[in-house]
Structure 1
């Protein structure tokens, strides 16, 4: 792990968590669509990252949001679940030629279909965990919240990919 890798991901962590806490806490669509942008930090990490480090980063991101939202570990649990399932989803979506050692989960590198499948599955699992743990049940309203929130977060994640992850940087 080189220093530019570490600095870039530390900046991403701070940026996404700060956006979540300061801006997106109050941004809700029709009382059902919530945007949890902090999970983009976990989604955009390199494909070949140490699994223990990934779980730690998932806990750190979720715990940081929990501290500011006062949600008693809900986001930490959901983020650790996302971090745990991420390698399995990556194995499930492995291209025919496999992944290169320098690949990252990037729209420009992996393509639209791959990225949308990858992000949609992980975002939906994360949101289902958050909303199920929040009310300790799963009913129709929870399912609607999961669907709208997954769409909302997914659109924001794709916009972030298009704006901040250039094609030039992806081809390095």
Structure 2
């Protein structure tokens, strides 16, 4: 296995472990949940094989489902996120295009691009998780509020992760 594969498998394990061990107990006002494990999918290189991306999305979601006992809800939502990711990247393509080795990085892409990219995908993932969880539109307003608070919470955590672990030096290489 090449260095690329080992690095991303380690990231998958770290993000899922962080989700299961830390974020499971971190809830804001009973409505704001942080699903940090999806950062693994959002931070992957831009030019990634779509089949591999879908497989990694399923793997991450399934691992969370096993520990949360949610019967495939996270797997379905992460596969949806992995499916929509290339479409959102095409939608947000800069005028000059992407470099072949680019990965999603706040320092390289800029704040506006990163916030648009992350917000679209995080909201989609969270809406899928919470609407699949309730399977009812009777409490759609509460589910919508839960989706918005959770997306905000997850987005803030992802920005902090980008600022802490994706340095400007690495962005300029």
The TM-score with structure 2 as length reference comes to 0.96
Pairs within 5 Å for 1:63-78: 63-78=62-77
Pairs within 5 Å for 1:121-160: 121-138=120-137, 139-160=140-161
Pairs within 5 Å for 1:106-117: 106-117=105-116
SS at match of 2:23: coil
Question: Can you give the 5+ residue segments of structure 1 that lack an aligned partner in the other structure?
Answer: none
1:148 shift after superposition: 0.1
* 1:42-90 deviation per Cα after TM superposition (whole angstroms, max 9, x unaligned): 0000000000000000000000000000000000000000000000000
SS at match of 1:45: coil
Pairs within 5 Å for 1:15-34: 15-34=14-33
2 CA distance for matches of 1:30 and 1:167?
34
1:10 shift after superposition: 1.6
Question: Can you give the 5+ residue segments of structure 2 that lack an aligned partner in the other structure?
Answer: none
SS at match of 1:11: helix
1 CA distance for matches of 2:32 and 2:74?
16
The corresponding residue for 1:170 is 171
1 CA distance for matches of 2:167 and 2:151?
24
1:134 shift after superposition: 0.1
1:5 shift after superposition: 2.0
1:153 shift after superposition: 0.1
1:168 shift after superposition: 1.1
SS at match of 1:94: coil
SS at match of 2:71: coil
RMSD: 1.0
* 1:18-43 deviation per Cα after TM superposition (whole angstroms, max 9, x unaligned): 01001111110000000000000000
The corresponding residue for 1:35 is 34
SS at match of 1:99: coil
2 CA distance for matches of 1:150 and 1:140?
15
2 CA distance for matches of 1:169 and 1:66?
33
1:135 shift after superposition: 0.5
